[in-house]
Amino acid sequence: MGRKKGPHVNKAFAYIRDRIISYELLPGEIVSTINLSKELNMSRTPIMESILLLKSAGLVEIINDNMCVSPLELGDIIEICQVRVAVECSSINIIMENGGLQPSQRQKLKKIFHQLSKTLSSRNFKEHYYYDDLFHTTIVEFTKNKRLMNISEMMRLQIQRARWLNVALPNNRREKAHKEHKNILDAILDNNEEACIKAIKDHISKSKENFIKIIEDQNLRIAILSIQNIYKNIYKDEVKE
């Protein structure tokens, strides 16, 4: 996803990405360039280019010669979590090898955590998951390891799509996850490599347990309906603004 994108490609990419993450385009559903061309009032060329970019990001794949939204099955969730553990724990190893976080990095991560904390009192899931994503990706960026950052970026949208499934569970996963983020933050600020890796593994393991519960207990349809309703309200609020 390193190539330059024109304004139409950017617009189409963001539009299709949001429809996939919000489950308006369902896993396995065909991504129609004809329909999208009408919806966006643009030619099919930038739309096709944006779909290829989403294919590189893992949100779209070819199924029976059609461009379709990538399926989201138990095996996919497990693989995503495995990659997250590998990338984030390696990031901590590198950060600690370099002497821990710099003062500016410490302040930046604390500020992101503070913003994440503020979202707990509202039902603004979009803002909450934005800072959740930023917290994790910022840790990877602190390594300044381009290859690790590329892997993280490639997985980013897949992780975002999976993360939204948590809204379907009756227990408040956001509050529990926040405590887990606090454990990660405290450990990295204390330069405690062992505790930080343990906290990351625990956090991702708990997330995986929730994802499995949703998919294995046949709650995926309920989760998708919940996410679709939340996004509808988000769009209404954005239109009002």
CATH number at residue 40: 1.10.10.10
- Both 94 and 20 in one domain: the answer is no
Query: How far apart are the C-alpha atoms of 4 and 17, rounded to whole Å?
Result: 17
Do 61 and 81 share a domain, yes or no?
no
Among 143, 197, 151, which residue's Cα sits nearest to residue 57? Answer: 151
Q: Considering only 118-122, 162-166, 178-182, 188-192, which range has the smallest mean pLDDT? A: 162-166
Of the ranges 11-20, 98-107, 173-182, the best mean pLDDT one:
98-107
Mean pLDDT over 91-103 rounds to 97
Q: Name the 3-class secondary structure at 61.
A: strand
pLDDT of residue 218: 60
Strand stretches in 53-170, DSSP E: 60-63, 66-69
Q: Are 39 and 91 found together in one domain? A: no
67 and 143 in a single domain? The answer is no
Phi/psi of residue 101, each to 5°?
-75, 145
Q: In the beta sheet, which residues pair with residue 143? A: none
Asked if 88 and 174 sit in the same domain, the reply is yes
Same domain, 91 and 152: yes
Domain final position from 71, 91, 122: 71
* Number of domains observed in the structure of the chain: 2
39 and 94 share one domain = no
**pLDDT for the residue 239:** 40
**Strands 66-69, 60-63: pairing kind:** antiparallel
Task: Pull the structure tokens for residue 199.
Answer: 């906290």
pLDDT computed for residue 171 by the predictor:
58
Domain that holds residue 140: 74-235
Among residues 160, 135, 142, the alpha carbon closest in space to that of 18 is found at 160
On whether both 59 and 78 belong to a single domain, the answer is no
pLDDT in tens, 116-127: 999 988 777 888
Q: Does 239 or 137 have the greater pLDDT score?
A: 137
pLDDT of residue 183: 98
β-partners of residue 61 are: 68
* One domain for residues 120 and 167: yes
Whole-model pTM above 0.75? yes
Q: Which pLDDT belongs to residue 220? A: 66
d(CA 75, CA 192): 32
Q: Which contacts of 222-225 are long-range, i.e. CB under 8 A and separated by 24 or more positions? A: 222/168, 223/164, 223/165, 223/167, 223/168, 224/23, 224/26
Q: Which of 18, 47, 71 is the last residue of a domain?
A: 71
Write out pLDDT tens, residues 190-239: 999 999 999 999 999 999 988 888 777 666 666 677 677 766 665 545 44
Cβ neighbours of 208 (radius 10 Å): 19
Selected residue with higher pLDDT from 24 and 137: 137
What pLDDT is recorded for position 240? 46
Rounded distance between C-alpha atoms, residue 177 and residue 182, angstroms:
9
* Average pLDDT for 148-172: 82
The answer to whether residue 2 sits within a structural domain is: no
Which whole number is the average pLDDT over 21-37? Answer: 90
The pLDDT of residue 169: 63
Which pLDDT does position 226 carry in this prediction?
Answer: 67
∠ CA 210-213-219, nearest 5°, is: 115
Token couple for 205: 């393991």
> Which residue has 């593994």 as its token pair?
201
Same domain? 44 vs 119: no
